[in-house]
Amino acid sequence: MTFGPAFWEIVLLSLQVASVATVFTLPPAIAMGWLLARRKFWGHGFVNGLVHLPLVLPPVVTGYLLLVVFGRQGPVGGLLNDLFGITLAFRWTGAALAAGIMAFPLMVRAIRLGFEAADRGIEDAAATLGAAPVRVFVTVTLPLVAPGILAGAVLGFAKALGEFGATITFVAAIPGQTQTIPSAIYGLLQVPGAEGDVVALVVVSVVFAMGALILSEWLARRMAQRVAA
């Protein structure tokens, strides 16, 4: 299988799951990062705790809760199935959901730090120049927070690529459907004589992780140059 169609299927599926998870998690993570950094409200601590729950819960517990809530019999999963014909459990979309939920707290943390570090005074300046709040957010705040958002996205992508516990609990490891790199490595370790495949997948993992880090470093440096006052 090494470097054959089955191998590439695993790699591509992993990239697909991690990319979709990152893209769909990023907007709510930006919103949550903003909310936690910029707004004082009743229940702030509770919301903060809820966001961080996947980080501290055993991943298997998160996977189990996903199964309960998003399974075909679950309250949300049943609704999605009845109304839109969307099934998450044991599908690649479910793998993306699990990866996204696990990546969410890491993304929120990085983005929140970005919002906290952004100079509010520059936003005030934009307001005195006649920019309404939405325009200030889009043209000033987001560019200032961009390095934090980028860091959150890369961290989230890496986490999504490596997610194992919640994924295998929620969607199992069905080849071609939900078998990502980590679950494939875990499965192949049980098979005698598959060490070559394991090593190949490990190398791919390392290459992706390094690639993501180098790319984000490069982008972050470019952005830092642009936003340095």
**Helix, strand, or coil (residue 145):** helix
To other proteins, the closest distance from the beta carbon of 122 in angstroms equals 5
What gap in Å lies between CA 191 and CA 143, rounded to an integer?
A: 49
149 binds other proteins (CB under 8 A): no
To other proteins, the closest distance from the beta carbon of 126 in angstroms equals 7
**Contact region for other proteins (CB under 8 A) — 49-57, 97-105, 117-125, 160-168?**
117-125
To other proteins, the closest distance from the beta carbon of 125 in angstroms equals 4
Task: Sketch the per residue contact string, 198 through 227, with other proteins: x for CB under 8 A, - otherwise.
Answer: ---------------------------xxx
- In the list 80, 113, 122, 209, the residue contacting other proteins (rule: CB under 8 A) is 122
What gap in Å lies between CA 172 and CA 161, rounded to an integer?
A: 16
State the residue for tokens 């194992």: 164
- In the list 66, 97, 140, 181, the residue contacting other proteins (rule: CB under 8 A) is 140
Separate counts of helices (H) and strands (E) for the chain: 11, 0
- The single-letter code of the amino acid at 108 is V
Q: Which two tokens stand for residue 229?
A: 């006052």
Closest CA to 159 of 225, 215, 208, 118: 208
190 binds other proteins (CB under 8 A): no
- The single-letter code of the amino acid at 12 is L
119 binds other proteins (CB under 8 A): yes
Q: Where does this chain bind other proteins (CB under 8 A)?
A: 119, 121-122, 124-133, 136, 139-140, 143-144, 225-229
